[in-house]
Homo-oligomer: A and B are copies of this chain.
């Protein structure tokens, strides 16, 4: 395969380009008997949809899911679930001005070099619009994880540019288009984003994701570690440049007596390890944090080259998110859901007969 499929047992295949007729996905390996409707998926797609506020791209897409297979009388059959999301609002002409130039920080240069072909319309396959497939696949995974194991997966926007947003409550995170977990930060956020948009520039962001209810024992040692698969999945999201599990980079300055989470009969005392030890889940919350770089398509002129390797300048005036991180929360949640579901299935394949020894309270 060439990068368009991921997962070992819960397997997601994706196709589609930003300015083609549709994106499509195939989920293979979902257990049979899961009650699943288009609405179950649609509600997650709606969380990631463009146009939810003035701070994100104004491209008008309903992002309507069309399920083509794998469901019979409202339940999964165990066979491949195929689905489409049509593109409805392509404006390829937006790209005519930059069709021969490369955007600094964008994938159009590397795609062109790798494949020898350039689809200049909206980033082609490199467009972050592909994440619609991830969110759909994640919606199925999170439903199964919730019903079968009681796992819940939630995320929030933890920082936008220089602006850190503390965690106050999950209710807050659900209540606004920023996924900010402290609603009192919203005025500051709005102001920051308005100024950013006016400046024609873009900014980075940090998103945190947490899975609660993951049983102890998921993950495979050595190369198939749960955290290794999470790191790979997160880094595969457009614009992600860093991944942390638990204490992450803060662990560098910690001592062992501080970092190592003590245990009592009632559970772990802390969670520096982010719910994973030796690549296997501990039963605590799995905590992940990701860094997203600033959008590369900005209105500020930048030095670049064209397809003839001639020096030139570029300004990008299409409809772009000034901060891709604002819409990344549902995507990161979805990727975590897919990895956890994959490992749930892998674990019961090998260890389905293990009688769990005494567990913590």
Task: Report whether B6 and A1 are in contact in the complex, using a CB–CB cutoff of 8 Å.
Answer: no
Are A104 and B282 CB-contacts (below 8 A) given A119-B77, A255-B161, A257-B298?
Answer: no
How many protomers of this protein does the assembly include? 4
Known contacts A116-B354, A350-B78, A354-B32; A279/B223 CB under 8 A: no
- Between A111, A119, A308, A310, the greatest number of chain B beta carbons within 10 A of the residue's beta carbon is seen for A111
A102 cross-chain contacts in B, Cβ below 8 A = 263
Considering only residues 1-52 of chain A, those with a C-beta below 8 Å from chain B are 1-9, 11-17, 20-24, 26, 28-33
Inter-subunit contact A231/B222 (CB<8 Å): no
Question: Quick check: is A95 within 8 A (CB to CB) of the other chain?
Answer: no
Task: Please name all residues of chain B whose beta carbon is closer than 8 Å to the beta carbon of A234 when the two chains form the complex.
Answer: 231
- B294 near A260 with CB under 8 A, answer yes
Q: Answer yes or no: A244 CB below 8 A from chain B CBs.
A: yes
Give Cα distance in the complex from A292 to B249, angstroms: 8
Within A81-121, which residues are at the interface with B (CB < 8 Å)?
81-82, 84, 102-117, 119
Q: Are A251 and B26 in contact (CB under 8 A)?
A: no
* Interface residue? A130 (CB, 8 A): yes
Number of interface residues of A (CB under 8 A): 164
Distance in angstroms between the alpha carbons of A68 and B24 in the assembled complex: 8
- Minimum CB–CB distance from A85 to chain B (whole Å) comes to 11
A249 CA to B207 CA, complexed, in Å: 11
Question: Cβ of B354 and Cβ of A280 under 8 Å apart?
Answer: no
Name which of A54-62, A182-190, A268-276 contacts chain B: A268-276
* Nearest B residue to A19, CB-CB: B72
Q: Which residues of B contact A53 (CB under 8 A)?
A: none
Flag if B358 contacts A241 (CB, 8 Å).
Answer: no
Selected contact of A216 from candidates B114, B130, B218, CB within 8 Å = B114
